[in-house]
Amino acid sequence: MRVGHGYDVHRLVEGRRLILGGVEISWEKGLLGHSDADVLTHAVMDALLGAAGLGDIGTHFPDTDSAYAGADSIKLLERVTALLDHRGWKVGNIDATILAQRPKLAPHIPQMRERLARAMGVSPEQVNLKATTEEGLGFTGSGEGMAAHAVVLIWKG
């Protein structure tokens, strides 16, 4: 068994879609990034890659490569999962936290869990998601951006 931790952050801007955990959330701003900027899925991918000792998402999907411009992060997660599977690693569980002052994310968490689980080929019960504000503090609290942390357990199957 191995444990990995992932962290990601993206700036909020007008004129972009807000995608979290592969789910589009209707809101006035979206996350800025080279891909779809899905901060939650990026944290999960980094945690998986880290647990397997395979670097990070910047190594596998560099923002200098135009092939990943606007990329669907769920499709990238499927590729990361396949990479782990090829090396004999199986996903045990994911525990992740999204840091965002607004919008309220609780109504979207079940769909995010389902979407992430499907991309990794696991049960939604193996994916735990939480959302929290930072009480108006820092860049997430001021609404400048969003962040996510993810911890994963993988094992040789």
Pairing of strands 145-156, 23-25: unpaired
Can you list the alpha helix ranges (DSSP code H) found in 4-147? 39-51, 57-60, 73-86, 109-120, 138-141
Q: Is 154 annotated as a binding residue?
A: no
Gap between the Cα atoms of 28 and 72, Å rounded? 20
Q: Is 41 annotated as a binding residue?
A: no
Q: Is 42 annotated as a binding residue?
A: yes
Gap between the Cα atoms of 58 and 33, Å rounded? 12
Amino acid at 40: L
At residue 5's C-alpha, the angle toward residues 74 and 82, to 5°, is 40
Gap between the Cα atoms of 63 and 61, Å rounded? 7
Q: Is 135 annotated as a binding residue?
A: yes
Q: Is 103 annotated as a binding residue?
A: no
Q: What share of the chain is helix, strand, coil (3-state, %, to 5)?
A: 35, 30, 35
Q: Is 35 annotated as a binding residue?
A: yes
Q: Is 60 annotated as a binding residue?
A: no
Q: Is 34 annotated as a binding residue?
A: yes
Q: Is 138 annotated as a binding residue?
A: no
Q: Is 10 annotated as a binding residue?
A: yes
Q: Is 62 annotated as a binding residue?
A: yes
Q: Is 56 annotated as a binding residue?
A: yes
Residues annotated within the binding site are 8-10, 34-35, 42, 56-58, 61-65, 132-135, 139
Residues annotated within the binding site for a divalent metal cation are 8, 10, 42
